[in-house]
Amino acid sequence: MSSSAAWTIAGVRNALETKQISARELTDEFYGRIDKRNGELNAFLTLSPRRAYAQADRVDRALAAGHDLPPLAGVPVAVKDVISTQGIRTTCGSKILENYVPPYDATAVERLENAGAVILGKTNCDEFAMGSSNENSAYGPVRNPVALDRVPGGSSGGSAAAVAAGLAVAALGTDTGGSIRQPGACCGIPALMPTYGRVSRYGLIAFASSLDRIGPFATTTSDIARVMSIIAGGDENDSTCAALPVADYGAEIAAPLAGVRIGVPEDYFGEGLDSEVLGKVQAGIALLERLGCRRVPLEMPHTDFAIATYYIIATAEASSNLARYDGVRYGLRVPGTTLIEMYRRTRQAGFGAEVKRRIMLGTYALSAGYYEAYYLRAQKVRSLVARDFADAFGKVDAIITPTMPTPAFRLGEKTSDPLQMYLADIYTVTGSLAGVPGISVPCGKTSAGLPVGMQIFGRHFEEGRVLQLAHAFENGGGFSM
Amino acid sequence: MKISREEVLRVADLAHLELSPEEAETYRSQLDEILSYVGKLEELDVSRVEPMTQVLVNPPGDRHPELRDDRPRPCHVAPEVLGQAPEAKKPFFRVPKVIER
């Protein structure tokens, strides 16, 4: 295998089984790549070579002993730095957790490792996953490997950039309002937000608990399916995770597309949508029709209210979740003469500007006199957005939209205007509010060479359907249209 | 104007954030812009809409499949947990004096 080769999970397995490479050599290969590119990309914040090589050696020993290999044996993966890893620093992209070392693994991490995956390290992200460009990280922005003057999207920008640049075969990200799908679109790789409750969040450091989800990045839909088969499923340590059986995603993605009904809501194709993105997504929908899908026009009339709803609910939950960072039990402490003074100084020094902005917005929305006008009203509108999806899924099997209104923007382009940054999530927050699964798949590039993402939403717990459409689209040449 | 400087300072106080005068003004104008945008939610009649308080969709007839049996399990994590504390004296977290007397 040449050093620039694009690895897939199946490719790793084949190379290990045919003794073309050992798991240790493959781990070396990926650390070599990271060594070359990470200075420029800033995708990884912390590397975990000790743990990675110990795991690689376990795989090599199993191979030498002639044992059957687990499904992800030797596969180099990266993990977003909001997901806990025992003994590996986990910062959430924040100064307040700069030296925090979790005493336990997140369930998703444990399942990946039990399946043989090699965890290379932790990836950069917007602080506490709050952002759409990765520019809110306390450890500097990530650069988009496709165009270095552009953002990789956010908040899981490091995970997306690592996979797109070939520094990991797959990665875990988290999605609260678009933070998996949007960086997937910016970096030109498939990226799945599973159904709310499909993947355990035990060990995920919370941002907005009614929205947060863990999901995978990879370079092919087959690999997304393989990772999902490992991380999905009930967990007795997470009462918000459904105990439903996990589908065989690998089999479901291969089902024929004939007769699948796809809905195209006109509400996602209006003002603010870049004309080149529009053209590519329209061509993508036409390809799905040629592949056997039946196109159905849809109306989702509350789409336009989703951003406002999302930024009230998400910030309200964040203001509550982030109250735990007070300098008492973990993370940064800035001393004060009284307990309250210590809290205030610690939080003032430890949190970045966007996190403070969101804590304040959420605190305001929950405060006496404003609760009904903002938070309660937003929860009611959330019901209307969810009803749009329920109505649509009475008529169609999947919904197709652009992932983002524009291609990846330039570093610094939107940092001075928080509201403009929020509007980058306009097509992704809807599915976040409704709890449904959604994938972003690459859908060609603009004339300037920037990736375009097409989003596919499915019914609750129908990741298999979403992946089936994505897989057919990939095989039909849709990724490189 | 949706939010005043006094309200920004009151909210910062509730959230235990200590803002500089410049920060207070920056946040005031930014929150003002965001709250004006959020005002579009008032266009909708939600008088007959229930708030969405549960996101997890359960299969019909199986209301709480994810609740485990309530059985005690061993939990010996105190040393690891205290090991992360900025200041600890086993078995306590140390903080500035809370009660004056």
Q: Mutating which of A195, A333, A334, A380 best tests the B interface, going by the most B Cβ atoms within 10 A?
A: A380
Are the Cβ atoms of B57 and A330 closer than 8 angstroms?
Answer: no
* Average pLDDT score over residue span A145-168: 98
How high is the pLDDT of residue B68? 76
Q: Which of A100, A380, A433 sits opposite B84 (nearest CB)?
A: A100
Please state the domain count of chain A. Answer: 1
**Closest CA in chain B for residue A333:** B86
The residue among A304, A381, A436, A463 with the most chain B CBs within 10 A of its CB, best to mutate, is A381
Q: What is the DSSP-derived secondary structure letter of residue A144?
A: B
Cα gap A270→A405, rounded to integer Å: 10
Is A327 part of any domain?
Answer: no
Strands of the sheet with A76-80, listed across from one edge: A44-47, A118-123, A76-80, A170-175, A213-218, A191-193, A438-445, A451-458, A398-402, A261-265, A294-298
- Residue A359 per-residue DSSP state: H
Is A330 in Cβ contact with B85 (below 8 Å)?
Answer: yes
* B98 pLDDT tier (thresholds 50, 70, 90): confident
Considering just the CA atoms, what is the radius of gyration of chain A in Å? 21
What's the pLDDT at B76? Answer: 85
Chain B residue at shortest CA distance from A355: B17
* Residue A203 counted as domain residue: yes
A360 chain-B contacts, CB cut-off 8 A: 8, 11-12, 15, 17, 27, 31
Q: How far is B4 from chain A (nearest CA, A)?
A: 12
**Residue A166 belongs to a domain:** yes
Compute the nearest-CA separation of B71 from chain A (Å): 12
Label residue B13 exposed, middle or buried (CB < 10 Å: 0-12, 13-18, 19+): middle
Report whether pLDDT(A3) > 60: no
What is the rounded average pLDDT of the residues B42-61? 87
- State the Cα–Cα distance between residues A281 and A104, nearest whole angstrom: 42
Return the pLDDT at B77. 86
Q: Which residues of A touch B57 (CB under 8 A)?
A: 195-197, 242, 435, 460-461
Query: φ, ψ for residue A438 (rounded to 5)?
Result: -150, 140
Rounded Cα distance between A453 and A439, Å, is 9
SS3 of A86-137: CCECCCCCCHHHCCCCCCCCCHHHHHHHHCCCEEEEEECCCHHHCCCCCCCC
**Per-residue confidence (pLDDT) for residue A473, from 0 to 100:** 98
pLDDT tens per residue across span A50-93? 999 999 999 999 999 999 999 999 999 999 999 999 999 999 99
Q: Domain of A200?
A: 9-252
- Tell me whether residues B65 and A244 touch, CB distance under 8 A: yes
Contacting residues of B for A348, CB less than 8 Å apart: 17-19
pLDDT at residue B56 in the model: 87
pLDDT tens digits, A383-398: 999 999 999 999 999 9
Find, in chain B, the residue whose alpha carbon is nearest to that of A241. B66
Indicate yes or no: CB of A333 within 8 angstroms of CB of B87.
yes
Contact B66 A243 (CB under 8 A): yes
- Residue A276 within a domain: no
CA distance A169 to A13: 12
Task: State the CATH number of the domain containing residue A201.
Answer: 3.90.1300.10
A391 Cβ contact list (under 8 Å, min separation 6): none
- Contact at CB, A380 and B95, closer than 8 angstroms: no
Which residues, 6 or more positions from B43, have their beta carbon under 8 angstroms from its beta carbon?
A: A305
A103-112, A269-278, B72-81: least confident range? B72-81
Mean pLDDT, residues A181-195? 98
Q: What's the mean per-residue pLDDT of chain A? A: 96
Confidence of residue B66 (pLDDT cuts 50, 70, 90): low
Angle of CA points A383, A264, A194, to nearest 5°: 55
In this prediction, residue B2 carries a pLDDT of: 87
SS3 A194: coil
Going A357 to A363 to A368 to A373, the CA torsion angle's sign is positive
Least Cα separation, residue B38 to chain A (angstroms): 5
Evaluate whether residue A199 is within a structural domain: yes
Instruction: List the single residue in A103, A236, A379 with the smallest CB-CB distance to B68.
Output: A236
3-state secondary structure of B92: strand
Nearest to A383 among B33, B39, B51 (CB): B51
The yes-or-no verdict on residue B63 having pLDDT over 60 is: no
Res B17: pLDDT = 96
Characterise A307 by phi-psi region: left (phi > 0), alpha (psi -120 to 50), beta (else): alpha
Structure confidence at residue B59 as a pLDDT band (50, 70, 90): low
* B61 pLDDT above the threshold of 80: no
The type of residue at A469 is L
Whether pLDDT at A352 is above 90: yes
- Please give the Cα distance from A331 to A319 (Å, whole number): 18
Q: Where are the beta strands (DSSP E) in B1-101?
A: 88-89, 92-93
Residues of A acting as catalytic residues: 80, 155, 179
H-state helical runs in A411-475: 418-422, 429-434, 463-475
Q: What is the mean pLDDT of residues A436-449?
A: 98
Does the residue A299 lie in any domain? no
Write down the pTM of the prediction: 0.97
Helix, strand, coil % in chain A, rounded to nearest 5: 45, 15, 40
Is A344's CB within 8 Å of B57's CB? no
For A442-468, what is the mean pLDDT?
A: 98
Residue B23 pLDDT > 70: yes
Contact state of B41 with A377 under an 8 Å Cβ cutoff: yes
**Phi, psi (degrees; rounded to nearest 5) at A13:** -60, -45
Distance from the Cα of A14 to chain B's closest Cα (Å) equals 37
Chain A residues with CB-CB distance to B19 below 8 A: 348, 356
Q: Measured between alpha carbons, how far is A332 from A433 in angstroms, rounded to an integer? A: 32
- What per-residue confidence (pLDDT) applies to A2? 45
Report the pLDDT averaged over residues A185-214: 98
Question: Nearest residue of A to residue B16 by CA position?
Answer: A344
Q: Choose among A239, A312, A357: nearest Cβ to B38.
A: A312
Alpha carbons within 13 angstroms on the beta-carbon side of residue A444 total 18
Question: Is B56 close to A197, i.e. CB distance below 8 A?
Answer: yes
The SS3 of residue A256 is coil
Classified by CATH at the fold level, domain B5-43 comes out as Histone, subunit A (1.10.20)
Q: What is the pLDDT of residues B75-88, one digit of tens each?
A: 888 999 999 999 99
